[in-house]
Structure 1
Amino acid sequence: MSALLDGLRADLAALSDQALRRQRRSNALPCAPRAMVDGREMLAFCSNDYLGLAGEPRLAEALAAGAARWGCGSGASHLVSGHYAVHDELEAGLAAFVGCERALYFSTGYMANSGIVPALVGRGDAIFADRLNHASLVDGMLLARADMYRYPHADLAALTRQLEASTAKRKLIVTDAVFSMDGDVAPLAELLALAERFDAWLMVDDAHGFGVLGPAGRGAVAEAGLSSWRIIYVGTLGKAAGVSGAFAAGQADVIEWLLQKARTYIFTTGAPPALAEALLASLGLIAEGDDRRRHLAGLVACLATELKLTRWQRMPSRTPIQPIRIGGNAEALAVARALWDEGIWVPAIRPPTVPAGSARLRVSLTAAHREEDVLLLARTLNRLEHTILG
């Protein structure tokens, strides 16, 4: 056998030995707290469907109506012939919803982040990024070929020193709004103040805040009361919005530049217009979703109150992302397996997704969960902490 394949198999074995090998599970039911895996019903705390819209019948009906009207595919890239009137309607609706002049719809959040960064900066420029930013932002930084400076998580003093020392012509500060593995919220007002002081762009990836935070779910930037032409706002449409895709919103000329230069927008087939119909319906449900958000906040408070952990740690988070820090990879997997054995599905997150020594359970709460679901999870974790040895 080839040394190439032998080496790959050895690397796979090493992942298994380090408790780092991922396992994919197939759910036989629509996205909801009740899942069916291998014929077994599970209570799932895995998805980013924060408002419980992924399985919402009204979105399914809008998608079906969109497919009946527009067909299944777009046929080409947006800049050739794959852009439709309903895409225009969606982009206008997204821009108005988040209070920006214009928006651009991308097929995925990964494509948005990895395309926007190199469209804004390049060789000789500088990017300043929180060390816990999502991988899609990191990949966008690498594609940009600009000088990269990663500051310790939420460390404004370190970021200030990096900005003061920079002589780059163009500067870009990049941050998650809600950090996907910690659940905390970036200091956006302070970051904007630094962007203004050092004449920099501020790119905010609000994948986990859009639909959940802020008035009517308009996101973390709206919650902070910020508005600036410097802000490039990125929202994800496959999490709280319950459908698929992402968008960038901001000042009209900035969005026009992204349309002209973001390679992940230019060189890919346009998203099916039927999805835009579903997303327009989703925007309406998000705007009217205060009851869902109140219920979700109540579940977050319930989990925080009912968890009585001493060795493991619920990390501080006011968002639906509720991480439980375990520590070692093997122990985190053991806890996830023990929960699975009791019919509770919670993913174990390990390096390189999180720093070494901080393996954790990532509990995701949604408005579709019930209080009794959260109570069951909390009581089970309280019990397991005393039966699983580190």
Structure 2
Amino acid sequence: MSTTPKDHFIDEALRKRKDQHRFRELTSYQPKGTTEVLDDREELVNFSGNDYLGLSKHPKVINRAQDFTEQYGSGATASRLISGTYTIHNKLEQKIAHTFGWEAALVFNSGFQANSTIISTLANRHSLILADKLSHNSLLNGSLSSRASFRRFAHNDTADLESQLSRAVDKDYDRIIVITESLFSMDGDRSDLEAIAKLCKKYDAWLFVDDAHAVGVWGTNGLGLTHGVSGIDLVLGTCGKAFGAFGAFLLCSSKMRDYLINFCDGFIYTTALPPAVIGAVEAGLDLIPDLSERRNRLYTNIKRMKKGIRRAGFQVGNTESQIIPIMVGGEEQTLELATALEDAGFLATAIRPPTVPKGSARIRITLSSAHTKEQIDQFLTTLDQLNNE
């Protein structure tokens, strides 16, 4: 019998993470206002949240959540197919479909749950999935758990995608599914959805687009980068970012909605979202199309921050959004910069492998319309000073 302790593998894995400067820990914060948080030492300006329009603190969102709790209770108490589908769940799904201009919508408990289980429901071991190389972990999880043949195409490379599609059509796949994000969560760049949709039509492939970081912020009336693009079969939007709430939704056909209700384990076997969340999402949905002023403030903040980061001597890659990576490279150096920024009063989280490719550790800045010019300028002054010490 082995004399090695049974938890030896845990010690080894954690030791390796620490040696590589990739060890993660949970840090708790107390939110204060829309763009500030308190840790155990001081108040920090938060440049790491996804509350892009400041709706998590909007009185209408908060009030609707409170109203729904008082009227319907604190929990849905069952899964959607048992007794957890309240009238408010159906009403929200109909309202989402109507607002975004789709035939149907289906609400999920989180974006990760939705991506990982929808894709594994759509594909099987006779299918082929082609995913952008930098697709979110949830999309990759869903692809791998489906048992389908799985390949990645070069990031934002439609020529590589077409090359793989052209080879795949001669194979005996029962379906081909192309997966991408509209706006990539770690780099802030965008995919060419029009071109990808045309390729999918040409090769009779399904197209699944994660629009999580664009919904509320980009597109006509904040309806996302997929809005108005023909040829997309499924769109995933999340409510924990620009909506300022929680949960996710799929935009699809009525037939697809029926299919997922009957076959998607991630939908079938989980308790429905609580009334407070449904109320908050509904309020956000009411607000978002009319928040052009907030979106314009966010666009101004993006330009100011990108220009200042470059002036401080850092690269920001190909970002075209509120997600701005300050490229550092090494894990240890990135952690040191994040710590120095926190000491100066800014929460700007270090992102390291395996979340991003090796050698591309970065400080990931995420901006809100609620960030002030003064907060951004103070951050940029600090960044410049730290880089020139």
User: Is the shorter-chain TM-score for this pair beyond 0.5, marking a shared fold?
Assistant: yes
1:118 and 1:143 in contact (8 A); partners too: yes
Confirm or deny that 1:212 pairs with 2:217.
Answer: yes
1:170 is aligned to: 175
Counterpart-to-counterpart distance in 1, 2:271 and 2:378: 44
- One-letter amino acid of the structure 1 residue matched with residue 230 of structure 2: S
Q: Give the Å deviation of 1:9.
A: 1.7
1:283 is aligned to: 285
- One-letter amino acid of the structure 1 residue matched with residue 254 of structure 2: A
Q: Give the Å deviation of 1:301.
A: 0.7
**Sequence identity of aligned pairs in percent?**
36
Counterpart-to-counterpart distance in 1, 2:312 and 2:273: 47
Confirm or deny that 1:192 pairs with 2:192.
Answer: no
Once the two structures are superposed, the pairs formed by residues 17-56 of structure 1 within 5 Å of their partners are: 17-29=19-31, 32-56=34-58
Once the two structures are superposed, the pairs formed by residues 1-390 of structure 1 within 5 Å of their partners are: 3-29=5-31, 32-166=34-168, 167=171, 168-222=173-227, 225-228=228-231, 230-309=232-311, 312-387=314-389
Partner of 1:249, secondary structure, is strand
Q: Give the Å deviation of 1:67.
A: 0.3
Counterpart-to-counterpart distance in 1, 2:41 and 2:187: 32
Q: Give the Å deviation of 1:243.
A: 0.5
1:308 and 1:382 in contact (8 A); partners too: no
Counterpart-to-counterpart distance in 2, 1:311 and 1:358: 16
Counterpart-to-counterpart distance in 1, 2:177 and 2:9: 39
Q: Give the Å deviation of 1:227.
A: 2.8
Counterpart-to-counterpart distance in 2, 1:184 and 1:318: 5
Partner of 2:226, secondary structure, is helix
Q: Give the Å deviation of 1:311.
A: 5.1
Partner of 1:59, secondary structure, is helix
| Cα 1:95–1:76 shift into 2, 3 Å | same
Q: Give the Å deviation of 1:10.
A: 2.6
State the TM-score, normalized to the length of structure 2: 0.96
Report the more deviating stretch, 241-250 or 373-382: 373-382
| Cα 1:124–1:158 shift into 2, 3 Å | same
- One-letter amino acid of the structure 1 residue matched with residue 195 of structure 2: E
Partner of 1:23, secondary structure, is coil
Counterpart-to-counterpart distance in 1, 2:25 and 2:380: 24
1:163 and 1:198 in contact (8 A); partners too: yes
2:349 and 2:364 in contact (8 A); partners too: yes
Q: Give the Å deviation of 1:385.
A: 1.3
Q: Give the Å deviation of 1:4.
A: 2.6
Report the more deviating stretch, 1-10 or 18-27: 1-10
| Cα 1:55–1:147 shift into 2, 3 Å | same
2:312 and 2:383 in contact (8 A); partners too: no
2:200 and 2:207 in contact (8 A); partners too: yes
Counterpart-to-counterpart distance in 1, 2:201 and 2:59: 44
2:218 and 2:225 in contact (8 A); partners too: yes
- One-letter amino acid of the structure 2 residue matched with residue 287 of structure 1: P
Partner of 2:178, secondary structure, is strand
Counterpart-to-counterpart distance in 2, 1:2 and 1:342: 45
Paired residues, number:
384
Q: Give the Å deviation of 1:2.
A: 5.5
Q: Give the Å deviation of 1:213.
A: 0.6
Partner of 1:220, secondary structure, is coil
1:160 and 1:194 in contact (8 A); partners too: yes
1:30 and 1:55 in contact (8 A); partners too: no
- One-letter amino acid of the structure 2 residue matched with residue 216 of structure 1: N
Report the more deviating stretch, 67-76 or 307-316: 307-316
Residues 221-269 of structure 1, C-alpha deviation per residue, up to 9 Å, x if partnerless?
A: 11xx3134x5201000110001000000122112221221111000111
- Say what the alpha-carbon RMSD is for the aligned residues: 1.4
1:309 and 1:385 in contact (8 A); partners too: no
- One-letter amino acid of the structure 2 residue matched with residue 207 of structure 1: A
Counterpart-to-counterpart distance in 2, 1:46 and 1:339: 12
**Which stretches in structure 1 are left out of the alignment for 5+ residues?**
none
